[in-house]
Structure 1
Amino acid sequence: MSKQKYRKLVKERKACRECKELTNPSCVDDGCFDSIEIGPWTRWQGNLTAEVMVVGQDWGDIAYLRRHEGFDDESNRTNVTLMELLKSIKISVGTPNSDKHNEVFFTNAVLCLKKGGLQAKVNPEWFTNCSSFLRRQIEIVAPLVVVTLGNHALQAVRNAFNLPKKLRLAEAVTDKDGELLFGNTRLLATYHCGARVLNTWRPIDKQLKDWKRIGNVLKKTRGK
């Protein structure tokens, strides 16, 4: 049933034109770089029964999609650091183009492609328009933990599930248990693991401590 729901959701995503400033991957070069996944990041890790789901802000732009033919850049600093953080909680995912089987589920709060490069600003309206896609992905996978990378991803998940009161990222990252979304699925926030944040707000040693919370919650939840 989850596979059927997921396929239906992917079909809806391919047809979506809600955000005029964004480009659906299905519209780039006749969709030759699109896939059967909800978004480009999910081509790397798309386990529909994963215990851990990682939600990023957005994936990239049209140039990045074309340059890497719909896949992620293996040398991308964010991806390299994310692999290190996952490994710290005993989850090994391999590089984007490796043959290693899916361990987790990667997705983005905004599924379509922006203009202006990977660091281009995002429009709050995009997260609102994509909210239904995000919530349904989480409900389909029903992971034990949803990990958000950065503030935009955190607020997108919280808004998708109508969680009460505004929660600052700095506050959320100190919450050792996270927030309950539904069933056994909990939301735990982390800082983004890109180069800019690593070099300014949250170096790798602190991020590893942040991720230790995730490992602890997984152990607790598995034991229930």
Structure 2
Amino acid sequence: MQTAESLEEQAKTVIFFGNEKQVLAILAIADKIKETSKKAITTLQNKGIEVYMLTGDNNKTASAVAKQVGITNYQGEVMPSDKAAFVEKLQADGKTVAMVGDGINDSHALAQANVSIAMGKGSDIAMDVAKMTLITSDLQSIPKALELSKRTVLGIRQNLFWAFIYNIIGIPIAAGVLYPVNGFLLDPMIAGAAMAFSSVSVVANSLRLKRVKL
């Protein structure tokens, strides 16, 4: 048992082989933690995002993994339904929850989350349920995806603003709202050019996303 406990403290899951009387062998299984995982979690935390780890592994293994990657909020021995319940609890506390998973056991929680992210090398059901699927298993792609989404939404709002400005100003002038005041009528050629420029400005603003460095 001492050997098993020592292995669990090293973030390894222990499997016992034995007969009816004694343990014959111990097998330790461990998921290799990518070097970029800790950096990705630190990046998310620096952005003010709370990071939680939920795993079906035993508590000692969960504790060891959490310590290695810098996570303070973690739970071990969590069932699939418990993951979904945990997400629901965070939502009840008024938090917007993004769930990242790659296995069948994560599908229920992915469906419950506000934003669900599946890793590209995960199970098919996780990718079917998730709203976003990353083509890599590198956790550093998560903060990059969130930042790209944030910039995309900002671009959409900017485009809507300029489109409304062009129409709010241009349509009344083209309709002759200034004619009774000063006799001004907007030349159809100028009006057409303004509308074309409106479309060009929206497209050009959207293309700025291609130059974003994440």
Query: What band does the TM-score fall into relative to the shorter chain?
Result: 0.3 to 0.5
Give the structure, 1 or 2, with the largest relative contact order (CA under 8 Å, sep 6 or more).
Answer: 1
TM-score (ref. length: structure 2): 0.32
TM-score computed with the length of structure 1 as normaliser: 0.31
